[in-house]
């Protein structure tokens, strides 16, 4: 009996209590933490990696107000320093479970820590979708990449293939031309989905060409690395083998909502559903940024979400306090 009481006592001691816990330190999460802490709330910012989210993997940012041009990691660092100025507590870990309890939500992490918060802000972002073809997992890190900024320098004077046709594929394809000998963008349609300015830059670049109406069927390689692709023309059905030294994949995003699946706050694809105040259907639980069901996922929209959530968390806590 004594041991049981000791265990209960220790568990209570291990629970860290905050007014607000923000899960994820991308632009959205950092902004929410900034606004909530500036409102004199106690705030924990839980992040499993380097603060900045996808900013850390972004080469050039030129569509964020206030900066004509800035490197992604530099902007992430600027945001982080601003976030921490009002006493935000930065915690390392991955949230694995959230147990709702009005005014006292519990969050468990893979670091063995438990947090209690009056308000929770989910800002876990998303990850790159995989093609799901043979060879993709086998050659991950051996010629297959999802991050041009991270891995581009390893492919100097190489022939590269970029899979996708949206903003990320075209922008990162252009970025890769500073390293690769050639960059071929493989797209399943006959026109790109990327912003016009990004398309124009890519099409004006002598190192970039395009393969239209084509999907990847298999990623091929030897015992050490990628050597090429098997691709299929979606109109003719013809399958062709093409050579490649590196393959960069940008075919969409998957929300990081595994830890919140039991809360029933997501749509069928896993994106968290909120109202315009970033509120989910659970009182005191908010969602912001790339993890939220929305049309446009940009740094500026993430920051806007974060500002709203930080203020709404304050308003919600005020209602709890009467």
Cα-based angle 294, 176, 170 (whole degrees, multiple of 5) = 35
| DSSP state string for 15-50 | EEEEEEEEE--SHHHHHHHHHHHHTT--EEEEESSS
Contacts 24+ apart (CB under 8 A), 194-200: 194/165, 194/166, 194/167, 194/169, 194/170, 195/167, 198/167, 198/170, 198/171, 198/174, 199/170
Mind giving me the DSSP string for 59-86? SEE-SSTT-SSEEHHHHHHHHHHHHGGG
Known catalytic membership, residue 209: no
- 6 neighbors 35 (Cβ within 8 angstroms): no
Query: Do 16-127+253-321 and 144-249 have matching folds?
Result: yes
Of the residues 151, 245, 290, 305, which is catalytic? Answer: 151
Concerning whether 147 is annotated as a catalytic residue, the answer is yes
Tell me whether residue 74 is one of the annotated catalytic residues: no
Which residue ranges make up each domain of the chain? 16-127+253-321, 144-249
4 phi and psi, to 5 degrees? -65, -45
Query: Of the residues 137, 150, 200, 241, which is catalytic?
Result: 150
Whole-number Å distance between alpha carbons of 228 and 247: 8
Q: What is the CATH number of domain 16-127+253-321?
A: 3.50.50.60
Per-residue pLDDT 10s for the chain (322 aa) are: 344 443 443 444 589 999 999 999 999 999 999 999 999 999 999 999 999 998 988 878 888 999 998 999 999 999 999 999 999 999 999 999 999 999 999 999 999 999 999 999 999 999 989 999 999 999 999 999 998 988 999 999 999 999 999 999 999 999 999 999 999 999 999 999 999 999 999 999 999 999 999 999 999 999 999 999 999 999 999 999 999 999 999 999 999 999 999 999 999 999 999 999 999 999 999 999 999 999 888 899 999 999 999 999 999 999 998 8
Superfamily of domain 144-249: FAD/NAD(P)-binding domain (3.50.50.60)
């Amino acid at each position: 009996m004594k041991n049981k009481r000791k265990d209960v006592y220790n568990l209570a001691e291990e629970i860290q209590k905050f007014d607000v816990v923000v899960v994820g330190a991308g632009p959205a999460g950092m902004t929410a933490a900034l606004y909530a802490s500036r409102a004199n709330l106690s705030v924990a910012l839980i992040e499993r990696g380097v603060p900045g989210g996808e900013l850390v993997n972004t080469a050039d940012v030129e569509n964020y107000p206030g900066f004509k041009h800035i490197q992604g990691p530099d902007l992430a660092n600027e945001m982080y320093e601003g976030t921490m100025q009002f006493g935000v507590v930065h915690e390392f870990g991955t949230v694995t479970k959230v147990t709702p309890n009005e005014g006292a939500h519990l969050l468990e992490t893979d670091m063995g820590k438990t947090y209690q918060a009056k308000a929770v802000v989910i800002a876990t972002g998303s990850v790159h979708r995989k093609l799901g073809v043979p060879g993709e997992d086998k050659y991950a890190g051996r010629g297959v990449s999802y991050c041009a900024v991270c891995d581009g320098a390893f492919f100097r004077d190489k022939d590269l293939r970029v899979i996708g046709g949206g903003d990320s594929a075209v922008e990162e394809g252009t970025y890769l031309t500073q390293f690769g000998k050639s960059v071929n963008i493989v797209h399943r349609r006959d026109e790109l989905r990327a912003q016009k300015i990004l398309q124009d830059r890519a099409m004006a670049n002598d190192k970039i060409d395009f393969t239209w109406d084509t999907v990847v069927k298999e990623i091929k390689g030897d015992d050490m690395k990628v050597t090429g692709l098997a691709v299929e023309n979606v109109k003719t059905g013809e399958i062709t083998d093409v050579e490649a030294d590196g393959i960069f994949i940008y075919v969409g995003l998957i929300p990081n909502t595994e830890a919140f699946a039991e809360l029933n706050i997501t749509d069928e694809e896993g994106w968290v559903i909120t109202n315009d105040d970033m509120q989910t259907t659970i009182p005191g639980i908010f969602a912001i940024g790339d993890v939220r069901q929305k049309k446009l996922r940009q740094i500026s929209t993430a920051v806007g979400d974060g500002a709203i959530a930080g203020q709404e968390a304050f308003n919600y806590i005020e209602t709890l306090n009467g």
